[in-house]
Structure 1
Amino acid sequence: MATNDIEPTSPESGKNKATVEALYAALALGDSDKVAKLLASDLEWWFHGPPGCQHMMRVLTGESDYSAFTFHPRSITAIGDDCVIAEGWEGAQAYWVHAWTLKNGLIMQFREYFNTWLTVREVSSPRWEVARTSHTLWQSQPRDRFNRSLPALLLAI
């Protein structure tokens, strides 16, 4: 089974994946009330990518409308009980990965990676050291990865 084809391992991970799918559906419809119900009021976010490409953050804060940049996930994968990864590309120069952290069905944290290769690894050490027993849970799969160079980041969970 490919890394990105991980099946949800618990009922909670399946619910979290459904929540993130509902978020993208609400964004596609421009349903700001539904989007707001899925996000914590104190949503924490982090961005990595070229300046000016914080598209999702602009949408979530109301700085731009839903049509400014459309997000059509090509894959959505639940990782463990609290993380969901979405990946997509919109044209030749726009590859993105979103990492969502959920608690009790509510999106608490958002990480946006734009034109960045991402690898998600499980870390078994409580001190955030990548242990010898850690393994890759998910890895970016941009469709044109062989035609361009992307900076790479490791997300340890």
Structure 2
Amino acid sequence: MSAAAIESPVPESVLKVEKQNKGTVDALYKGLSDGGDMGKVAKLIASDLEWWFHGPPRCQHMMRMLTGESSHTKFRFEPRCIEVVGDCVIAEGWEGAQVYWVHVWTLKDNVITQFREYFNTWLTVKDISPHGCEIRHENHNHTLWRSHPGDLFKRSLPGLILGI
């Protein structure tokens, strides 16, 4: 067996950071759902948050909530799944057959520095880093994550590939 075929164990420090990052994003959603504790939420987000949105402009619910333009009760983000991919945390949720969303949060030093929101869009996350970088993946086509929109499989949604 070649050395390239043997994956080195993930350092405990990497696992700790991944767990912290997931905890930060989970705390953000809890802060938004617990009566809209925006003080708690603001502490989790960098003041110069980089933001990117893909979807109908009327669906920019998270931006409106985080900027105070809208009440947390107008749209409730309840993630069905939260996964860590490198320094990103990906959350997805869906409500019935009409609404599907994916959030990709990038963290540095336990603070959210970048946010990408995809509304009613299939998302595939691919590893485009040079060989030997720290992102872990187990398949060989470099797909790190793929949308799982539950009951929306029969519906046609635009698809995007996010390279990280």
2:72 alignment partner AA: Y
Partner of 2:83: 77
User: What is the CA RMSD across the aligned residues, in angstroms?
Assistant: 1.6
- Tell me, which stretches of 5 or more residues in structure 2 are unaligned? 1-11, 132-139
Q: 1:5-84, aligned counterparts within 5 Å?
A: 10-29=15-34, 30-80=36-86, 82-84=87-89
Q: How far apart are residue 107 of structure 1 and its match?
A: 0.3
State the alpha-carbon separation in 1 of the partners of residues 109 and 72 from structure 2.
26
Q: What is the SS of the residue equivalent to 1:147?
A: coil
Q: Is contact 1:99–1:111 with CA below 8 Å preserved after alignment?
A: yes
Q: Is contact 1:121–1:154 with CA below 8 Å preserved after alignment?
A: yes
1:140 lines up with 2:147 in the alignment: yes
Q: How far apart are residue 134 of structure 1 and its match?
A: 5.2
2:163 alignment partner AA: A
Identity %: 65
Q: What is the SS of the residue equivalent to 2:59?
A: coil
1:140 alignment partner AA: S
Partner of 2:6: none
Q: Is contact 1:15–1:105 with CA below 8 Å preserved after alignment?
A: yes
TM-score w.r.t. structure 2 length? 0.83
Instruction: Return structure 1 stretches of 4+ with deviation > 3 angstroms.
Output: none
- Tell me, which stretches of 5 or more residues in structure 1 are unaligned? 1-7, 127-132
Q: What is the SS of the residue equivalent to 2:97?
A: coil
Please, which moves more after superposition, 142-151 or 38-47? 142-151
Q: Is contact 2:52–2:117 with CA below 8 Å preserved after alignment?
A: yes
Q: What is the SS of the residue equivalent to 1:71?
A: coil
Q: How far apart are residue 51 of structure 1 and its match?
A: 2.4
Q: Is contact 1:123–1:134 with CA below 8 Å preserved after alignment?
A: no
Between Structure 1 and Structure 2, how many residues are aligned? 143
State the alpha-carbon separation in 2 of the partners of residues 148 and 46 from structure 1.
24
Q: How far apart are residue 22 of structure 1 and its match?
A: 0.4
Q: Which has the larger radius of gyration?
A: 2
